[in-house]
Amino acid sequence: MALEQKDKALEVKEAKLQHKDAELQGKEVVVAMLTGTLVQKYIVLAAQEVAVRDAEAALKERETSLSMLWEQADAARLQLA
């Protein structure tokens, strides 16, 4: 009888371990999915950073061009005066 009880107890422990293993596998899948999502977001942010830098460079070029036009306009006004 004692062996049957030990056998039953081992079966219960095995079932609990299998359940925990299944839970861990599920959590592993969730972690992998979240990691993939974070990597994708990082890639998008990196691309946006490049786009922002490009836009800033374009604005600086336009600022320089506008500044030159203002200087030309001031010089033209001086010549007309």
Tokens 């596998």 correspond to what residue?
25
pLDDT over 70 for what percent of the chain? 100
Cα-based distances in Å from 6 to 3, 16, 24, 58, 60:
5, 15, 27, 77, 79
Residue 57 has pLDDT above 90, yes or no: yes
Structure tokens at 24: 């861990």
Structure tokens at 15: 């079932």
* pTM given for the model: 0.61
pLDDT at 1: 79
The residue with greater pLDDT, 81 or 77, is 77
- The string of pLDDT tens digits covering residues 26-55 is 999 999 999 999 999 999 999 999 999 999
